[in-house]
Amino acid sequence: MNIILLGAPGAGKGTQAEIICERLSIPTISTGNIIREALKSGTEMGLKAKSFIEAGSLVPDEVVIGIIKERLAKGDCENGFILDGFPRTIPQAEALDKMGVVIDKVIDIEVTDESIVKRLSGRRVCEDCGASYHLEYKAPKVDGKCDKCNGTLVQRKDDHPDTVLSRLEVYHKETEPLKAYYEKQNKLVIVYGQDEVQDTTKLVLQALEA
Ligand code: ADP
Ligand code: ZN
């Protein structure tokens, strides 16, 4: 099954992606994680993306489309994949269609802007494996340490309050139109994000089975 997870930054796409990925044994492709990796290792692509990601704006379409083309060509995507954070603009969605990639379902996780701000300010991510946590809603077993790999948990630069508002603005302007785009293709399913991760997961799994 080829799945897209849509939703505002901090709606819980990454967390749900990790869970579906284990359940269905298909890889998650997170453009955000790929770009942050590139940034850390200082590749050319990372350098190109740095100023955009830190300002909370989108990395140019051609850069992310290139990332996705390369990633989807790998063998582990043959039995399906979950796209987390791609597409984020209409041209990106059109690029997927042009590549001949057939999407089965688009799950849109809806969360209000107010809770997004709360969620992002409490979010912490693992420096090593990218897993995400929340100080209040999804605390790690050991303070400041990743449950999965014992890496150090940090706050992303773009999760600071001043950047969050501009990311939300970008989401409403550039990404939200994708709902109508996939609604037209009859692929959109809306799921309302719940306070408890597992409650949202239930709804997501129902949406995938429907
Ligand atoms: P979140 O969903 O929490 O905003 P991501 O990790 O998906 O976080 O993305 C972080 C940043 O990476 C974005 O703000 C943007 O700068 C860049 N990025 C990720 N995916 C894309 C994309 N598809 N198009 C453009 N920029 C992207
Ligand atoms: Zn980790």
| Domains of the chain from N-terminus onward | 2-26+79-209 (3.40.50.300)
Q: Which ligand is nearest to the CA of 131?
A: 2
Q: Which of 14-18, 88-92, 116-120, 129-133 has the highest mean pLDDT?
A: 88-92
Q: Which ligand is nearest to the CA of 130?
A: 2
Report the pLDDT averaged over residues 38-51. Answer: 91
pTM exceeds 0.85: yes
Please provide the size of the chain in residues.
210
Q: Is the CB of 4 under 6 A from ligand 1?
A: no
Mutate which of 52, 58, 163 for ligand 1? The one with the most ligand atoms within 8 Å of its CB, which is 58
- Using an 8 Å Cβ cutoff, are 61 and 89 in contact? yes
- Using an 8 Å Cβ cutoff, are 129 and 33 in contact? no
Residue predicted with more confidence, 15 or 141: 141
**Strand-pair category, 123-126 with 153-154:** antiparallel
Crossing angle of helices 61-72/90-98, nearest 10°?
30
pLDDT for residue 185 is more than 90:
yes
Residue nearest to atom 12 of ligand 1 (CA): 32
pLDDT at 157: 87
Query: Which structure tokens are listed for 101?
Result: 């990639």
Cα separation, 83 vs 24, whole angstroms:
14
Cα separation, 22 vs 17, whole angstroms:
9
Q: How many CB atoms lie within 10 A of CB 45?
A: 19
Q: Which percentage of the chain shows pLDDT scores above 90?
A: 81
* DSSP string computed for 19-39: HHHHHHT--EEEHHHHHHHHH
